[in-house]
Amino acid sequence: VTLASSSAPIAPGDLLRTGQRLAGQRENLQKAISTLVKREEQRFSAKLSEVEASTTSTARATTGVTVVSVAIVLILVWILLRSILQRVQSLSNHFAATQDLSCVEPMPTSAVADELDLLVEASNRMLRGFRESRRHLVEKEFVDSILQSLRDSLLVLDRHGRILRSN
């Protein structure tokens, strides 16, 4: 066997030794590559474990923060609703305390100036209107009773001389 670039013949024993040497180098390269791959796999596995641990701890922390936040929001909503319901109950109790609305005093308004204060103000206006109507009714009944008890005729005139009432 001769190589194209050289004119000297190669002995079959040399060719066999060269093949064995190349096969040995190939095995050594495969072992080195295998060792490097194993080392990189171990390094990758270690990094992956660190990332998984970090991700797990981050997920736990995020879950904890979320649970605490939801609990805080629920507590605040409960406190707010309780405050609102107490004010509504106070208004209801104020008017339910007596059957005669003429005895009920106006409710004080709070410094909040919210919808419930508007309701309290409207209730107070309604109460004032009721009292005014009641006062006019009592006055009219009183005047009517006086007019009915008189034996002589009586004319009630306004300042312009128009007749307002008569018996």
What is the pLDDT confidence band of residue 1, given thresholds at 50, 70 and 90?
Answer: very low
Of 48-57, 97-106, 122-131, 152-161, which gets the smallest average pLDDT?
Answer: 97-106
pLDDT of residue 2: 45
Residue percentage of the chain with pLDDT more than 90: 32
Q: Using an 8 Å Cβ cutoff, are 107 and 94 in contact?
A: yes
> What's the CA gap between 53 and 84, in Å, rounded?
46
**5 has pLDDT over 60:** no
pLDDT of residue 7: 57
> What's the CA gap between 101 and 97, in Å, rounded?
9
C-alpha triplet 40, 43, 45: angle, nearest 5°: 105
> What's the CA gap between 109 and 124, in Å, rounded?
10
Considering the entire predicted model, what is its pTM? 0.46
pLDDT in tens, 73-118: 999 999 999 988 888 888 888 777 666 666 677 777 777 778 888 8
Q: Among 83, 102, 104, 84, which Cα is nearest to 93's?
A: 104
